[in-house]
Amino acid sequence: ALQPIVDSLEPFGVVSPRRIYVERFLPERWGDVLERLSIEPQVVSSVHGGSKDPADIALAWDVAMGVASGKLSGVAIASEDVDFAWVHKRVRSIPSQNLTSFALLREKQVSGLAQRMEQAGSRVVLYRLPAATTASKKARAATKRVVADFRHPLKGLSAVEDSPRTSGAFDI
């Protein structure tokens, strides 16, 4: 499920280094895919009882740190979570850096979510997932989000993945 996201960024340059934020068991399960795509897993501890997903917070923190570094030429986030429209808006609100903000969305998710992302100043980039098999449907039961921090030339990708939540879960 990560390959179409990575492929959708190709027209904008090379995205590297690549990181993925996962819970403990996922680096082993996704090992072959992560190695093939040169994505380094970073384990995010699950916090029980909190109202926010630690992977979402890690993603927003990485974007903030990248923007603060002044070394980015853009940020890309693949997520069906409309809360990331705020992150896109903040990225675009720093006129001195003139950052590009990409919202990567599945082709079938182009209605209201795409409109919200565009209103936040994001450039919407669509990607298509291959037809799902039974095995790939099970593999996609985990949530996936991607952050790319583009440096000159366009570089930097982080994917965030966590297990499904009991309510409000979404997948990419």
Would you list the domain boundaries of the chain? 3-162
pLDDT beneath 50: ranges in the chain = 133-135, 152-155, 161-172
Topology given in CATH for the domain delimited by 3-162: Rossmann fold (3.40.50)
pLDDT for the residue numbered 87? 92
pLDDT for the residue numbered 165? 36
H helices present in the chain, as ranges: 3-9, 26-29, 31-36, 54-69, 84-92, 112-119, 134-139
pLDDT for the residue numbered 154? 47
What are the pLDDT digits (tens) for 48-97? Answer: 767 777 888 888 898 888 888 888 888 888 888 888 999 999 998 887 78
Q: What is the pTM of this model?
A: 0.69
In the three-class reduction of DSSP (H, G, I as helix; E, B as strand; rest coil), residue 114 is classed as helix
In the three-class reduction of DSSP (H, G, I as helix; E, B as strand; rest coil), residue 85 is classed as helix
The residues near 50 (Cβ < 8 Å, ≥ 6 apart) are: none
d(CA 32, CA 40): 11
